[in-house]
Structure 1
Amino acid sequence: MRSFLKNLAFSPLAFAVSFASGLGMGLTSAPVYAYFLGWIALIPLWVLICQPGVSFKRALGLAIAWGAGYHGFALSWITGVHPMTWMGVPWLASLAIALFCWFFITLWGTLIVLSWVVGMRLYSRFMQPTTLLARCSRVLFGLTLWCALEAFWALGSLYWTTLAFTQSPYNLAILHLGQLSGATTISAAIAAVNGLIAEWLLAQATPTKPRPLFLTLPIGLCLSLHLIGASLLQAPLNPTPETALRVGIIQGNIPNTIKLFPEGLRKAIEGYTAGYETLVAQGVNAVLTPETALPFIWNEQNRRYSSFQQAILRENTVAWLGTFSTQGSRLTNSLLTITGDGEIYSRYDKVKLVPLGEYIPFEDILGQLINRLSPLDAHLAPGSSEQIFDTPFGRAIVGICYDSAFGNHFRRQTAAGGEFIITASNNAHYSATMPAQHHAQDVMRAVESDRWIVRATNTGYSGIVDPHGRTIWISGLNTYETHADTIYRRQTQTLYVRWGDWLLLVLMGLSGLSIIQQKLT
């Protein structure tokens, strides 16, 4: 084993192995959903970078290979924006934009892996684990560092592919660990299992091999975590008639190629008006439309003669309308509560804008390049992170499109009294993989918050998800659909909702104590 690992670590094949294991992590998400690979896909990278004698430069190369495999595959749906010839963008320029976006977001995700490898190399250099306890301490440091990096990345605008994300939407038992301390709980669990197996393999290459009993640690941990999650999954929801809310969803299916042109506007107004009337006839209390369902500013002048506004006045039923509003001289991507009298009851402005689509990150550096390559107006104004969205049925938790990737955004609204989640999205400009991954993000948010979630998208997948993450209904892709269903308002608060990401602080404290203890001994 010792000679095999040493030969592999110093051979060119090591980069292929690292890339393949990163690709394996990528296969855990849509469209493959091989979530079980998440529990082993980090092992090769861990073993290779911790192998004695591997240079710092080589370790960084292995990190890049792993990050490119994971983030490059999982985020490849971004290339679905090509071609943009319908916007007047030349075919080659459109391809350049798509490839640049893919490269940029892959690189950004890979920076997490690079930072983690740097930290692991520094730790191994100064601590030099040789005993079983020291190896467990390195595992603790490794999983703490990974979770800390994910938490730091979540403070920014480019955030999607966490380790926790690899288990959604099908490993519901593990997803329920998110009720304890959010995505950190799940990422820490995955990193711990991978790390313990990796350290067992590394120890096999030493003169003092650990007992086979050591291997029972990761196996036992994995099984125990699934059992804990399964027990949370079995908790009864106890819905009552008093908390029931009948909601309707309209999936308008307006292709982006026509959405902003007269044909698309006409089709949108007709489709959403007809869908609203159909759902009202089915007895719903409110109707949810997708992100920018009616892609114009919903002001007095524009809404006065809108058939959708007239339908609301006629049917006297609440609508949650995706449209544009204004913030000073800039537009906002908004969701409005419109009551039966046609008035705006509440407004939510999208907080997390899509990089390169709705705003330009590092605009001073990238602004001129993007503006030369694309005619997109990438300058929407973000909403306040402290927004509250009250409705005639109680306080709601809201996310528009990219907001779904940020668990703390939903946690804050839940802690503020939100009783159910509504999300509105438009995924029409990406490949079919992206809507499936977006649904997986919302499943995580439903479980973490212990709330029912209603999802309306332009072209799919719209859906209803219960607080246990079970998809009650999901739409087709690229279809016009309406759906009526019943959800239930809830006032429970999970440990994550009450205390936030407390586990990360505990892990950091334990890791610090472990380092001090090793230095003293």
Structure 2
Amino acid sequence: MPQFLGSPPLPMTAKAPPHRWPWGNLGWVGLSGLLMAMALPPLSGWPLAWVALVPLWWVVVGSGGWRAAAGYGLLWGIVYYGLSLVWITHLHPLMWMGIPWAGSIAIALAAWGIITLWGSVCIALWGAGLWWMARRWPDAVLWRVLAATALWCLVETLRNYSPLDWSPLGLTQSPNNLWILHWARLSGPTTLTALLVAVNGLWAEAVSSQGFRLGRLGLPQNVRGGRRHVIGLGVGLLILSHGLGWVIYQRATPANPDQALTLGLVQGNVPTREKLTPAGIRQAMTTYTEGYQALAAQGVDAVITPEGALPVIWRAGDPLVAALKQTVAQTGVPLWLGTFAPVEGEPRHYTQSLLELRPDDSGLDEPRFSDRYHARYNKVQLVPLGEYIPFEPVLGRIIQRLSPLGNSLVPGQRGQRFETSLGLVTVGICYESAYSRLFRQQTRQGASFIVTASNNDPYPPGMMAQHHAFDVLRAVESDRWAVRVTNTGLSGLVDNHGRTQWIGPPQIALSHAVTLDRLQTQTPYIRWGDWLLPLLVGGSVLLGWPLLKKR
């Protein structure tokens, strides 16, 4: 008979019948993905994430074969990632670049579909793995929860090393569930994912199993009321994780008034479709120069502009570069400018950069270029299709028009140090907020606060809320204050406990001064990295070895 929701596993000797894709199971999987998507910003229904995986787990364990299990995982990913990334379609319209209406729609849908499918394939692999474990060891309930948790964390971590990644499970708890977010100080984003998957898995196994046995991590042993025990474990883990998270949250880092800084943020709100024209370049120059001068007059320690604030190549002889340097020299306040800068020794290639300009050239070594700057950070994680072109022979002629530099952007080197007049700073440019390891590397070197500079045009406020949630995660896991400055929003300030101290409205021009603390603490994650993932994987293999031998 076909395997439906809650059906007991087929014996290994039995031949699985053809799977008929029951509509009920498809509905449960779709609901599971929908609930998890609703837990993400901007809806931020974070409690849903603690039960949202239960229907997916039920259906996968009760599937008639690994192909069906993978298919259910694929469907879950399409719903979850598709809904959470629907803002990508706001790339349309692109007719201002000369692309026909149909081509603009095709580009936006293709970008949405590719990143959605990539995340969905990863969940399909997890689904097939969970089904395989359930069929091989149907009695090993607790071990299966541990191994499935390790597998999800492994897949999510490997995906984060790819050019495309967004919407990890931990993002569902940001920016509101601060007690749980503080677990990220132990081992980064993996800690949050492990807690969510484990709690969901315990409840799913308790509800979906038919009189299972509960032994020492799966060694057969009849236990009366085993379902109640597993539900109790799920409830206990949920309560314990929030309780210990509260304890970590309460351990405040002492503030040092001598280390406080006041920084100015300029949100220019210059749309990309205008900024890449001669008139738009002049508008950007005027907007950011006036914002810089107004903030400097308030006595800030430095002024920060967003990614690509001045959309020209930073090189000697450019009148805009000369004018801006003269303004900084006259005003007397350092300016951290988002722009494009040439690569040393490769004048035809450029990086997306954040440069520090100071009022004078004192302290500079012999400059490599005549257009001097004191500090430079080059964006490491470039955006596919927007800043570099995969499959260039096929896509290059169309996609290169999305960037003012064509296909010449190159990534920055890992291990950079943004040494400024205010000390060492951790920097992330736009898309890099999703890659915690880039922030960890810089913070471990001694950076005392975080700055993220983004464009965020033409995306809607929903995407901006997700981007802000990433910065909250980065602030908590590293125990650092984080300043966020964008072109169209949301600009803001987050303290080292993830509390949003200020956030500006989207899609308006503004200048604002914020005050933050510089810290030098090192959390376990900053010191040792993601140590939990190898512990989960190794523990699953070690504890599962007796099961494998017995089988």
Normalized against structure 2, the TM-score is what? Answer: 0.89
1:260, CA displacement in angstroms? 0.8
Alignment of 1:53-64 (within 5 A): 54-64=64-74
Match of 1:279 in 2: 295
1:395, CA displacement in angstroms? 0.5
Q: Matches of 1:4 and 1:454 in 2, distance apart? A: 47
Q: Secondary structure at the match of 2:265?
A: strand
Are 1:316 and 2:332 an aligned pair?
Answer: yes
Q: Matches of 2:4 and 2:149 in 1, distance apart? A: 27
Do the aligned residues in 2 keep the contact of 1:252 with 1:459 (CA within 8 Å)?
A: yes
Between the two proteins, the alignment pairs up a number of residues equal to 512
Match of 1:30 in 2: 41
Match of 1:15 in 2: 26
Q: Matches of 2:165 and 2:96 in 1, distance apart? A: 29
Match of 2:16 in 1: none
Match of 1:359 in 2: 388
1:12, CA displacement in angstroms? 1.9
Provide closer, same or farther for how the CA distance between residues 14 and 246 of structure 1 changes in structure 2, counting only shifts above 3 A.
Answer: same
Q: Matches of 1:47 and 1:335 in 2, distance apart? A: 48
Partner residue of 1:468 out of 497, 502, 505? 497
Match of 1:428 in 2: 457
1:6, CA displacement in angstroms? 3.4
Partner residue of 1:108 out of 118, 126, 129? 118
Match of 2:517 in 1: 488
Are 1:92 and 2:80 an aligned pair?
Answer: no
Are 1:513 and 2:542 an aligned pair?
Answer: yes
1:56, CA displacement in angstroms? 2.0
1:120, CA displacement in angstroms? 1.6
Match of 1:6 in 2: 7
Q: Matches of 1:475 and 1:123 in 2, distance apart? A: 48
Q: Secondary structure at the match of 1:380?
A: coil
Are 1:157 and 2:163 an aligned pair?
Answer: yes
Provide closer, same or farther for how the CA distance between residues 24 and 381 of structure 1 changes in structure 2, counting only shifts above 3 A.
Answer: same
1:168, CA displacement in angstroms? 0.9
1:463-507 per-residue CA deviation (whole Å, 9 max, x = no partner) reads: 111000111011111111111111111100000000000011111
Alignment of 1:59-138 (within 5 A): 59-126=69-136, 128-130=137-139, 134-138=140-144
1:315, CA displacement in angstroms? 1.2
Partner residue of 1:391 out of 410, 420, 426? 420
Q: Secondary structure at the match of 2:282?
A: helix
Letter in 2 for 1:77: W
Provide closer, same or farther for how the CA distance between residues 98 and 16 of structure 1 changes in structure 2, counting only shifts above 3 A.
Answer: same
Do the aligned residues in 1 keep the contact of 2:314 with 2:321 (CA within 8 Å)?
A: no
Match of 1:242 in 2: 258
Q: Matches of 2:159 and 2:212 in 1, distance apart? A: 36
1:436, CA displacement in angstroms? 1.0
Partner residue of 1:253 out of 269, 282, 294? 269
Q: Matches of 1:305 and 1:105 in 2, distance apart? A: 37
Partner residue of 2:318 out of 290, 296, 302? 302
Provide closer, same or farther for how the CA distance between residues 9 and 17 of structure 1 changes in structure 2, counting only shifts above 3 A.
Answer: farther
Provide closer, same or farther for how the CA distance between residues 304 and 434 of structure 1 changes in structure 2, counting only shifts above 3 A.
Answer: closer
Are 1:340 and 2:359 an aligned pair?
Answer: yes
Q: Matches of 2:526 and 2:85 in 1, distance apart? A: 29
Provide closer, same or farther for how the CA distance between residues 40 and 27 of structure 1 changes in structure 2, counting only shifts above 3 A.
Answer: same
- Which contiguous aligned blocks of 4+ residues in structure 1 show a shift greater than 3 angstroms? 6-10, 204-209, 303-307, 369-375
Q: Matches of 2:306 and 2:320 in 1, distance apart? A: 21
1:105, CA displacement in angstroms? 0.5
Are 1:445 and 2:469 an aligned pair?
Answer: no
1:109, CA displacement in angstroms? 0.7
1:216-264 per-residue CA deviation (whole Å, 9 max, x = no partner) reads: 1111101111111111111223222211111110001101120011221
Letter in 2 for 1:467: N
Partner residue of 2:52 out of 31, 36, 41? 41
Q: Secondary structure at the match of 2:388?
A: coil
Letter in 1 for 2:6: L
Match of 2:14 in 1: none
Are 1:368 and 2:394 an aligned pair?
Answer: yes
Do the aligned residues in 1 keep the contact of 2:4 with 2:59 (CA within 8 Å)?
A: no
Q: Matches of 2:111 and 2:200 in 1, distance apart? A: 30
1:57, CA displacement in angstroms? 2.1
1:87, CA displacement in angstroms? 1.2
Match of 2:429 in 1: 400
Do the aligned residues in 1 keep the contact of 2:425 with 2:450 (CA within 8 Å)?
A: yes
Match of 1:140 in 2: 146
Provide closer, same or farther for how the CA distance between residues 59 and 346 of structure 1 changes in structure 2, counting only shifts above 3 A.
Answer: same
Letter in 2 for 1:335: L
Do the aligned residues in 1 keep the contact of 2:72 with 2:127 (CA within 8 Å)?
A: no
Q: Matches of 2:320 and 2:80 in 1, distance apart? A: 49
Match of 1:457 in 2: 486
Q: Secondary structure at the match of 1:468?
A: coil
Letter in 2 for 1:187: T
1:402-430 per-residue CA deviation (whole Å, 9 max, x = no partner) reads: 11100111111111111111110000122
Name which of structure 1's ranges 423-432 and 90-99 shifts more when overlaid on structure 2: 423-432
Q: Matches of 1:123 and 1:5 in 2, distance apart? A: 16
Q: Secondary structure at the match of 2:376?
A: strand
1:213, CA displacement in angstroms? 3.1
Q: Matches of 2:532 and 2:67 in 1, distance apart? A: 32
1:168-204 per-residue CA deviation (whole Å, 9 max, x = no partner) reads: 1111111110000000000000000010001101224
Letter in 1 for 2:65: S
Letter in 2 for 1:413: Q
Do the aligned residues in 2 keep the contact of 1:291 with 1:335 (CA within 8 Å)?
A: yes
Structure 1 unaligned segments of length 5 or more: list them.
none
Do the aligned residues in 2 keep the contact of 1:79 with 1:431 (CA within 8 Å)?
A: no
Normalized against structure 1, the TM-score is what? Answer: 0.94
Q: Secondary structure at the match of 2:7?
A: helix
1:123, CA displacement in angstroms? 2.1
Do the aligned residues in 1 keep the contact of 2:449 with 2:519 (CA within 8 Å)?
A: yes
Do the aligned residues in 1 keep the contact of 2:65 with 2:131 (CA within 8 Å)?
A: no
Alignment of 1:223-238 (within 5 A): 223-238=239-254
Name which of structure 1's ranges 159-168 and 202-211 shifts more when overlaid on structure 2: 202-211
Structure 2 unaligned segments of length 5 or more: list them.
9-18, 214-221, 362-371
Do the aligned residues in 2 keep the contact of 1:356 with 1:378 (CA within 8 Å)?
A: no
Q: Matches of 1:218 and 1:500 in 2, distance apart? A: 27
